[in-house]
Chains A and B, each alone.
Chain A
Amino acid sequence: MATEAKLDPMHQFQLEKLAGADWNIAGYNIAFTNSALWMAIATIALIVFVAGGMKRAVVPGRWQMAVETFTGFIDGMLAANVGKNGKKYVPYIFSLFMFILFANFLGLMPLGVVGVHAFTFTSHFSATGVLAILSFAIVLIVGFSKHGLHFFSLFVPHGTPVAMIPIIFVVELISFLVRPFSLGLRLFVAMMAGHVLLEVLSSFVISGGNNGPVMFVIAGVPSFVLMIGICALELLVAGIQAYVFALLTCVYLNDAENLH
């Protein structure tokens, strides 16, 4: 039974209660799970990383340079997508980007070698959905507080013929409302697909090895080589998905901040 579970590619996404199985808030159970543990690890790693770049030296060292590169990257992204008003969103976008980036990278760490199993909480839509709804909520709050009901003009592009306005409004409204889902699901799907692929390929290596040397050479070795390539690809995807999440949040914020 235990060996079967190991070859189940979905097993890695299994949530387990580590502590507080009976912790409840207003009737909702908030047990501390392996997912919550890796959220904590990502948070601590991020705090350590950024704290290491806080020497505030005029001539930065390598670590400070790395941290400043990330803040400069986020600052530049907001300046390019939102403009001068985007500066105030740097703390949020930076937190969002770095939190997802660290979560993705930590989930890819080959810690299985030392017997610890990394858990990628960004492969759960219950986690990515919260981040997506958070971003969407900020867009709504900024949009309505800045432009009031005029924010609805976002759904009527410039130059729409009067006869087309009702239909266009509905289409635009739907595409707007789909944003939080696409935002959350994109990250969840990309992370889950990569991890499933790696798990399936590694199960090929193991089953190939179990079925004798011939099968190992035919199926096991090529799968292993492919895995190495896919690992590199997954590292790229981990960065890109964090970037896409942050970039789309910037684009949506631009809609709210600079209504056309």
Chain B
Amino acid sequence: MPQIAQLGEFYASQIFWLLVFFGITFFVVGRGMVPKVMDTVASRDNQIATDLKAAEAARAQADAEEAAWRARENANRAQAHGFIADARAKAAAATAERIAGTQARLDAEIAAAETRIAQARRNAAAEIEDVATDATRDILSRVAGLSLDDTAVRGAVKENLVHG
């Protein structure tokens, strides 16, 4: 077994060179390079975490903006609805007013016309009375030779027209 058989001859060399080369490994690789590699990993992890946080913040902001936009949009829509209802009410009121006005005018015209008709009828009735009185007086004077008082004849005619 050379490990034991050669121990006396080589142990100093083994220990010395192992310390030398492990020392080089430790100081060059372990102390020199590994911290830089770990730094790279840490900075990458850091950057990923930062980016994720920024993305999260951006998403939250987008959500907030969307909610605000939605609220604004809803308000606008409600306002528009209000405008439409208002306009509709106003238009309906105006129409009702105009109809009422026209109705009133028509009613007045109808009333006036009716008054005129009544007047005309009364006039016509008076004229018929006159004509009937004249005719009665003429008939009486021609047939009976009577010359009667105008007022008496008129009274008789009126009585007969009313009751006849």
Contact = CB atoms under 8 A, between A and B. Distances in A.
B92 interface: no
B16 A47 contact: no
Contacts of A228: none
Chain A: interface residue count, which band? Answer: 35 or more
Contacts of A75: 38
B34 A91 contact: yes
B31 A33 contact: no
Contact of B34 (A29, A58, A90, A99): A90
A56 B2 CA distance: 45
Interface of A: 10-11, 13-15, 25, 28-33, 35-36, 39-40, 42-43, 46-47, 50-51, 53-54, 56-58, 60, 64, 67-68, 71-72, 75, 90-92, 94-95, 98-99, 121, 123-127, 130-131, 134, 188, 192
A75 B40 CA distance: 14
A126 B3 contact: yes
B3 A192 contact: yes
B10 to A, nearest CB: 5
Contacts of B33: 47, 50-51, 54
B13 interface: yes
A24 to B, nearest CB: 9
Given A29-B9, A47-B25, A125-B3, 9 more contacts: A31-B10, A35-B10, A42-B25, A43-B22, A50-B34, A51-B33, A68-B41, A90-B34, A126-B3
Contact of B1 (A10, A35, A46, A57): A10
Given A33-B10, A50-B33, A71-B34, A127 B26 contact: no
Contacts of B10: 15, 31, 33, 35, 126
Contact of A123 (B3, B24, B39, B40): B3
B14 interface: yes
B76 to A, nearest CB: 46
6 contacts: A15-B14, A36-B17, A42-B21, A50-B37, A127-B14, A188-B3
Contact of B26 (A32, A51, A95, A126): A95
